[in-house]
Amino acid sequence: MSLDAVQQVQRSYPVIYQACHVDHVRTKSNRHHVSARDTALLAHLDEKHPVAAGELARHLGITASTLSAALSRLQSLGHVARSPHQGDRRKAELRLTPLGAKAVMSASVLDQRRIAAVLAELSPAQRQHAVDGLALLAQAARSYQGKAPKRKRW
């Protein structure tokens, strides 16, 4: 792995974040009734690929009961779908619902208008390369999450 590639990501991500970041949203101040914490949890879910609840709790560094309480609330709002694991019915699989995806977008720390303005700075071909590159990096990150060593907590 090239150190230059690692450093480029380290330099690029904060610039994008700074340009597109917005103030955090309070639960009652948005139409989807999700807080920044809820959004962070929902952002770890996908509409197509299920995530095991226990795996998500470990990744987030929270207890299963804490995750369960948050998921129950988000499920009651229609943002999360739970289903039994295919191979082990004692385990739950989680998916983001279409409404949950809208909630993530509306409460994201990255403002849609700012992202659109940044993307408008690029030619159509550059824009497609940038979006494809980010999607590819996100796909690799999802794959890595299951293999990553446990992070140290401060």
Nearest CA-CA partner of 52 in 89, 77, 79, 78: 89
pLDDT at 154: 42
What does each of the 154 residues of the chain score in pLDDT, given as a tens digit?
778 989 998 999 889 988 888 765 555 555 677 877 888 889 889 898 888 888 888 888 889 899 999 999 999 999 999 988 777 777 888 999 999 998 888 777 788 889 999 999 999 999 999 999 998 998 888 788 767 666 555 4
Boundaries of every domain in the chain:
1-22+110-149, 26-109
Nearest CA-CA partner of 83 in 52, 44, 41, 39: 52
Nearest-Å Rg of the Cα atoms of the chain is 17
Question: d(Cα 63, Cα 50) in Å, to the nearest integer?
Answer: 19
Is CATH 1.10.3720.10 the right assignment for the domain spanning 26-109?
Answer: no
pLDDT at 114: 92
pLDDT at 105: 82
For helices 112-120 and 124-145, the axis angle rounded to 10 degrees is 130
